[in-house]
Amino acid sequence: MANTLQLGNGKWATGKDTVLSFSDTNNNFKPLPFSFSRASSATVVNQSGLIETVQSGTPRIDFLGNTKGALLLEPSRTNIVPYSQTFTGWSLTNALETPNALISPDGNLNASKFVTNNTGVDIKYVNIPVVQNTTYTYSFYCNYVGGLGLQGRFYDNTNGANIEYYDYMNQLEAGKWKRVTRTFTTPSGCSNIQVWYLASSSSQPVTAYYWGAQLEEGSYATSYIPTSGSAVTRVADACSQTVPDGVIGQTEGVVYIDFIAQNSTGQSQSHFWLGASGSEIGLYGGSQFVFYSSGGVQISSANIVTGQRYKIAFGYKANDYVAYINGTQVGTDTSATVPTMSGLSLGSYFNGNEVQKKNINDFKLYNTRLSNSELAALTTI
């Protein structure tokens, strides 16, 4: 099963505006750089397990829960909490803060310790503009020491009404930094809200460290975006390649991708495309994977599960398309032609749209249509 392009699988080389893939066909090593862009800085979890900031145009290899690393591609998001690491503008009631009391997830001594009593607790940011009837995700890091009944809260300042309380004890582990996440939808007419680190506790006082508040529009949390006085936007990642002759099979081939699904909503999200805009084959999907073969044929599979690893192979040849997921055949197309294979877009459509968060472990191209048994073996977890 000789492949013509390999990206990842623990072999990462990145530089300004580039991610290096390679070909080793016939034991002849040849570098095949991908063009990469992101017009802003961004954060990533490095090999030491710490959140670090990388500059614009620098690809991110994420080592969160993955010792081999994965290429992190994300859509544009904005953290609208003005102060994510200090408590300027935050309101505290029945809570004592000790600043710079613990090493935070970014490796610096900048996390605050809070000790509360057991009544009327508020640790909140009181004035955040939002859009009505819109889905947001709130996230923060908590290092839990003690106490029970840790709750967050969202409050609608415009209508003077509570949006929800929620318990996040099940997201914590004593003595370790854990990222708490909660998704909610703003009510009709709501244009300003309050968000809480801690809204109440039960019969015991609470002791915990907090750091890294983030409120972003969308149905899931993305990588941390630090703020220090105003909202900050991280621009979308884009990764593509105008492929040299012989790399993408023009009459037959296989595209293979190994990644962790980060979002299982109904939003359209591109995973890969081969060909050119308007004449392509590829894989996209929010709640379901959809394989798109030339001529508009769609082959759908079972629902996508957030956090699950998928090994996917898509074999193509005139009137002989097949799709495999985790060792199982999920669809075929026996009446499809092969478009001109002039380009490759990874993690988005050719125009840069339909970007959703994903961690790509491994990506390969083959210029022959492998047998079904080979595809089953290739994709078996």
CA distance 356 to 215: 17
pLDDT at position 43: 98
pLDDT at position 303: 75
CA distance 37 to 229: 26
pLDDT at position 117: 81
Q: Would you call 301 exposed, middle or buried from its count of C-beta atoms within 10 A (0-12, 13-18, 19+)?
A: buried
Q: Which amino acid is at 101?
A: A
CA distances from 336 to 9, 37, 96, 273, 295 (A): 31, 33, 66, 16, 6
Q: Are strands 5-8 and 328-333 parallel, antiparallel or unpaired?
A: unpaired
pLDDT at position 34: 87
Q: Which residues of the chain have pLDDT under 70?
A: 1-3, 24-30, 201-203, 243-245, 263-268, 295-297, 300-302
CA distance 324 to 299: 11
pLDDT at position 4: 77
As beta bridge partners, residue 137 has: 183, 216
5-74+237-379 against 79-234: fold identical: yes
The phi-psi region of residue 67 (left if phi > 0; otherwise alpha if psi is between -120 and 50; otherwise beta) is alpha
Closest CA to 263 of 360, 353, 356, 359: 356
Are 79 and 94 within 8 A, CB to CB?
Answer: no
pLDDT tens digit sequence for 295-339: 666 776 667 888 889 999 999 999 999 999 999 999 899 988 999
Q: What is the pTM of this model?
A: 0.88
CA distance 259 to 334: 27
Q: Does domain 79-234 have CATH number 3.40.50.10470?
A: no
CA distance 55 to 76: 15
Domains of the chain, by residue range, sit at: 5-74+237-379, 79-234
5-74+237-379: CATH architecture: Sandwich (2.60)
Q: How many CB atoms lie within 10 A of CB 371?
A: 12
